[in-house]
Amino acid sequence: MSRANLDVRATELRQQGIPFVRARVVLAERPTSAKAGDEAIIHADGSIEGFVGGTCAETTVRAQSLMLLDSKEPLLLRITPVEEPGQLLGGGHGTLSVHNPCLSGGALEIFLDPVVPPPLVQVLGDGPIATALLGLAAQLDYSVSAIDRLTIGNALGIVVASHGRHEVETLTAALDAGVPYIGLVASRRRAAGVLDELVQARPDLARIAPGRVHSPAGLDIGARTAAEIALSILAEVVSTRVHSAAPAAAPENGTADGRPAATATAVDPVCGMTVAAVETSLHLDHDGSRRYFCGPGCLREFSANPAGYSES
């Protein structure tokens, strides 16, 4: 994939609110298959578009990139085939050196830049509270958008402040999408009526709707004005993000609040490299368990003598 195509792809992912890591080779010491300027996009499922090296380098880039989606910090990654004097094996000042014995002989330096879109809050309504919500959420560096139709995205929060318009449809869509925070701006009495109407339309939601829809929306801070109510609602959104566990219906490739899921890792049983334990990593199912490898050489060596390697 050309750099121009990667630029287009990166723009599409940003617009869709999908997290990724942009990788670029800044130094290639021969012999390496990658060249300075080669680029790739690493997705939250470990898949890679573009090219920043062969299988062995790609394994290291994938493992480090998936961890960066959680930390959100850029990293200059140096991958070497032999251990260098004073080589760092941990993070420090935005750099990391990794010894990968699978490499063909050269060394690579690759800049990894995680792109994690800000949390998305969507608001239904155009009254004073809805307007205050849109303005205050932007002050928190959240991505905010009004809902003018049922386009529930990968949102951290959905707030229905439309005072009777399209409430049931929007709440149902948010529940189906597994949105972590769902708020309904209404009195307790009217909220009960809205939930009754929702359950009549969707009996399958009877058990989860009352506990998932916050109404009256917002923490009880004695709010009276539209701005104060908006503050109480966003405080509840933040509290939900920080304290709640991800629901079972979390979206693919991330937690239910739109952040990338923490990536599991495994150790290559042959060379000891840390590998991302995702479907796109090189792996082999043996004796009822799955083993992950940094490259085809280690996989072949394990396959030839599985009994020679301890459980990992």
pLDDT of residue 149: 53
> Higher pLDDT residue, 109 or 293?
109
pLDDT of residue 168: 92
pLDDT of residue 246: 39
What does pTM read for this prediction? 0.61
Alpha carbon of residue 289 to chain centroid: 27
Provide the CB-side half-sphere exposure for 68 (13 A, CA). Answer: 30
> Higher pLDDT residue, 254 or 220?
220
Domains parsed from the chain with CATH numbers: 16-115 (no CATH), 120-243 (3.40.50.720), 265-308 (no CATH)
User: What percentage of residues in the chain have a pLDDT greater than 70?
Assistant: 87
Query: In the predicted model, what is the mean pLDDT of residues 18-46?
Result: 91
CA atoms of 28 and 81, how far apart (whole Å): 12
Q: How many residues does the chain have?
A: 312
> Higher pLDDT residue, 38 or 126?
38
pLDDT of residue 171: 92
pLDDT by residue (tens digit) across 110-126? 999 999 888 888 999 88
Neighbours of 251 (CB within 10 A): 15
Query: In the predicted model, what is the mean pLDDT of residues 252-269?
Result: 62
Query: In the predicted model, what is the mean pLDDT of residues 76-97?
Result: 71
For the ranges 95-109, 165-179, 257-271, 278-292, which has the lowest average pLDDT? 257-271
SS3 124: strand
What is the rounded average pLDDT for all residues in the chain? 82
Give 264's contacts (C-beta < 8 A, 6+ positions apart). 276, 277, 278
Query: In the predicted model, what is the mean pLDDT of residues 157-181?
Result: 90
Residue 128 confidence class, pLDDT cut points 50, 70, 90: very high
CA atoms of 279 and 66, how far apart (whole Å): 13
pLDDT of residue 249: 37
pLDDT by residue (tens digit) across 188-200? 999 999 999 999 9
Q: Is the pLDDT of residue 20 over 80?
A: yes
Query: In the predicted model, what is the mean pLDDT of residues 213-218?
Result: 90
Q: Is the four-CA dihedral 197, 200, 202, 203 of positive or negative sign?
A: positive
Backbone dihedral angles phi then psi of residue 179, each to the nearest 5 degrees: -65, 130
pLDDT of residue 250: 39
Query: In the predicted model, what is the mean pLDDT of residues 130-148?
Result: 84
CA atoms of 138 and 127, how far apart (whole Å): 17
Residue 261 confidence class, pLDDT cut points 50, 70, 90: low
Query: In the predicted model, what is the mean pLDDT of residues 288-297?
Result: 81
